[in-house]
Structure 1
């Protein structure tokens, strides 16, 4: 095995370990509520109506309070795995109820205060959700396939694949990217089929502007592509190493979560500022 293949295998293994650590739905006894929540982040978003940050976690959705400390939104402490902000105060999510099981697709129209079940309750756990072109795109980890829905109630099943995250082109509704252990897999038919993943290996992707596709690798390296993933430029390393989530708000505004914090960049990932600290389970 040559050095390049060894590096790729190591990156894939690190990614698998990272995501396995974040996918459990059990109880984290012995930690405070905020420490437990902020040590397992699964999604990030900014509400366009007021530019407030929202963090989807293993124990509910949180937002910074007046002092910049994480505050639970609403009263749900369920495990929010997939999470995306669609538009003003409108969020989609998935995951596990606190007592176990699968939530299917759920929706909030009051910025996470309350949630309504839309479909696939008890059946599906979407580990990645994206809202684009008036549709929900989801990677259903339970079935291992890409699904799309215009109304959140009825779904079109796409390809089966082992994916970690998905991103949809802001220009072309048929162009969908997925991160896999082999690299980035590409679909040009709306997720019906995917080509085999190609290097580089990325943990998460986010795509809000045509010339600003962002990716974060398993070690926290932050990358930008201006040509839809054909080539990449590493611009920085997000503090904290292994990533937990990535969301591009627009062409220059990006959010990333690692093991030590939620970070924000407003210059396309060249510099980062911590928005919220993350409490390590081993260092409460």
Structure 2
């Protein structure tokens, strides 16, 4: 089990619900605690070292030779995890209980690959469950208020609309709009002025991401993986992962999906999947 995730017994509802902290989440010295990720909230490849980072209920982990290694001995519940550059991460969530911080971290940033974090805005106010960056603009979904928000300076936020959303994706050529999924699997294109349209031909995906070369990737609550082009809204089924998805990250060369029991990788656009912690 040293190379396996010890996931909490959670299903897709855990993706949609806010993650609180309690005394039961306090750091443990039990054997193997360095690999205790908990429910996965985010995935990403760090361009600085091409390594996979996994953000979970119990901290941020770097995957080395198939083993998740906790970064900086921090048990921060790291949510809405997004890698935006070499060693540069954005996130939200809830603090390590050993730290004197408010329960909602707002927007936080690390410039040393999760070794340390600094607050940028909305500390004590926002609990972002999804963050997406396009150019200088950031879109964020705050689960505490139900607001889809945006900022360009990472300090001053404006509300785009309100609703219940799960995940976000953007098109680099259209920074004035964002794709958002709902708990029922509907996909909406939302503009900065709050107007929106449902993508009627989209499958019922709850997680969504995009690559720089023009692909949108989505995963349904049942684990079916779909893909479409930015220019042609014709979704096709490309593969399947076992179990409800918890997190998705798609790049031009590799896609990653976390489920309740594994972190999976595909290098053939979703056709086949391998457990990177197997």
Task: Give the TM-score normalised by structure 1.
Answer: 0.83
1:72 aligns with 70
1:25 aligns with 21
Deviates more, 1:191-200 or 1:52-61: 191-200
Structure 1 position 261, deviation (Å): 1.0
Unaligned stretches of 5+ residues in structure 1 = 1-13, 278-284
Unaligned stretches of 5+ residues in structure 2 = 1-9
Q: How many residues align?
A: 259
Aligned partner (choices 173, 177, 180) of residue 179 of structure 2: 177
Query: What are the Cα deviations for residues 122-157 of structure 1, in whole angstroms up to 9, with x where unaligned?
Result: 100000011211222111111111111122111122
SS in 2 for 1:209: coil
Partner Cα distance (1:124, 1:18) in 2 = 18
Q: Superposed, which structure 2 residues align to 1:211-230 within 5 Å?
A: 211-227=214-230, 230=233
Partner Cα distance (1:108, 1:87) in 2 = 10
Partner Cα distance (1:257, 1:16) in 2 = 11
Structure 1 position 225, deviation (Å): 0.8
Task: Give the TM-score normalised by structure 2.
Answer: 0.85
Structure 1 position 196, deviation (Å): 4.7
CA distance change for structure 1 residues 98 and 201 in 2, over 3 Å: closer, same or farther?
Answer: same
SS in 2 for 1:203: strand
2:3 aligns with none
1:57 aligns with 56
SS in 2 for 1:276: coil
Partner Cα distance (2:189, 2:21) in 1 = 30
Partner Cα distance (1:246, 1:216) in 2 = 8
Structure 1 position 54, deviation (Å): 0.4
Partner Cα distance (2:58, 2:12) in 1 = 22
Aligned partner (choices 196, 208, 211) of residue 211 of structure 2: 208
CA distance change for structure 1 residues 47 and 16 in 2, over 3 Å: closer, same or farther?
Answer: closer
Q: Superposed, which structure 2 residues align to 1:90-129 within 5 Å?
A: 90-99=88-97, 101-129=103-131
2:7 aligns with none
Matched, 1:248 2:255: no
Root mean square deviation, CA, Å: 2.4
Structure 1 position 195, deviation (Å): 2.9
Which runs of at least 4 in structure 1 moved beyond 6 Å after TM superposition?
Answer: none
2:45 aligns with 46
Deviates more, 1:145-154 or 1:123-132: 145-154
SS in 1 for 2:13: helix
Partner Cα distance (1:227, 1:78) in 2 = 35
CA distance change for structure 1 residues 205 and 191 in 2, over 3 Å: closer, same or farther?
Answer: farther
SS in 2 for 1:271: coil
Structure 1 position 191, deviation (Å): 6.4
CA distance change for structure 1 residues 273 and 76 in 2, over 3 Å: closer, same or farther?
Answer: same
Judge conservation of contact 2:128–2:143 (CA < 8 Å) in 1. Answer: yes
Judge conservation of contact 2:249–2:256 (CA < 8 Å) in 1. Answer: yes
1:159 aligns with 161
Structure 1 position 200, deviation (Å): 2.3
